[in-house]
Amino acid sequence: MSFTAGDVKKLREMTGAGMMACKEALSTTAGNIEEAVDYLRKKGLAAAAKKQGRVAAEGAVVSLVNGKHAVVVEVNSETDFVSKGDDFQNFAKSVATWALENNPSDINVLKDAKATAVNELTLKCGEKIDIRRFESVELSKPGLIGGYNHSGKIGVLVMLETTANGAEVQELAKDLAMHVAAADPKFLSANDIDEDFKKREADVYAGQLKEQGKPENMIAKIVEGKLNKLAQDVCLLEQKFVKDPDTTVGKLVAATAKAAGADIKVLGFKKLNLGDGIEKKEDNLADEVAKMTGLKN
């Protein structure tokens, strides 16, 4: 067997599928979690692909903007209790502030700069503290950056190129950052969707259609139709705007540009979800009590 009970549990949490279905998926894919997710999606057994981005660690994500420079930083703790404390929250903000002011070249430079503070906080709270990752952006052209923090769990930056800087453009930048947090786009525009992503989605669509009993000679055409609509789901400019589903993000940008009397171009976005890719440790209270008392569980 090339997978563990922990892998089965992780796959269940990611997909909402049953235990036996998860075991079958992992057996079929030789323990490859990503391929197992696709296998379950093809079978129609995954509750929702969006669950793949589920939070799996505690801590905070902080985004800060200062004119044409901005950062978003993830700092982790072991428990939610510590992450909600003032000491941890203040530390996370201080890390983001240092990154914004000093523009470190990579995560190791940031970790080295804050190593003493990390050790002090670790001793104070009794938990491992980790500065896990950060993104930094700086505009070289006229424009502005929209930043958004959602409950300390999601941090977003959206970069705009424009000569306008009025209230309507400021609001657009903030609204787009909020949209990215809610709608989770994967790409900026349809032209940015890579072939590997398209192929993976096409394979999933085909598997789903086969499970539904669609005629073999119709599957390719249906898949093509679904791929033509893929951009509406995964591309920022093609998505329906979360605050007004009657328009798209692209149309919103165009309308704001017209109102501002200047061109507006969305250059890109950065998003960090707290705990992405980290398997959260779960304490077993009965085991802990057994260890403390010397009794068997």
Q: Which two tokens stand for residue 52?
A: 């793949």
Residue 248 lies in a domain: no
Q: Which two tokens stand for residue 90?
A: 């203040």
Predicted local distance difference test score (pLDDT) of residue 287: 55
- Tell me, yes or no, whether 175 and 63 share the same domain: yes
Evaluate whether 152 touches 62 at the Cβ level (below 8 Å).
yes
Which has the higher per-residue pLDDT, 135 or 289? 135
Give bridge partners of residue 73 from the DSSP assignment.
62, 134
- The DSSP letter of residue 294 is T
Q: Which two tokens stand for residue 17?
A: 């599928």
Q: Which of 36, 54, 72 represents a domain boundary (last residue)?
A: 54
- The DSSP letter of residue 235 is B
| DSSP 3-state of 108 | helix
Chain centroid, CA 142 distance in Å = 28
pLDDT at 9 over 50: yes
Rounded to whole angstroms, the Cα distance separating 202 from 230 reads 10
Over pLDDT 90: what percentage of the chain? Answer: 57
Mean pLDDT over 262-284 rounds to 83
The model's pLDDT over 192-239, given as tens digits with 9 standing for 90+, comes to 999 899 899 889 888 999 889 998 989 888 888 888 789 999 999 999
Mean pLDDT over 231-253 rounds to 96
CATH of the domain at 34: 1.10.8.10
The model's pLDDT over 12-35, given as tens digits with 9 standing for 90+, comes to 777 766 778 888 899 999 999 889
Give bridge partners of residue 76 from the DSSP assignment.
59, 130
| Domain range enclosing 23 | 1-54
Amino acid at position 18, single letter: G
- Tell me, yes or no, whether 166 and 182 share the same domain: yes
Give bridge partners of residue 273 from the DSSP assignment.
154
Q: Which two tokens stand for residue 192?
A: 């940015």
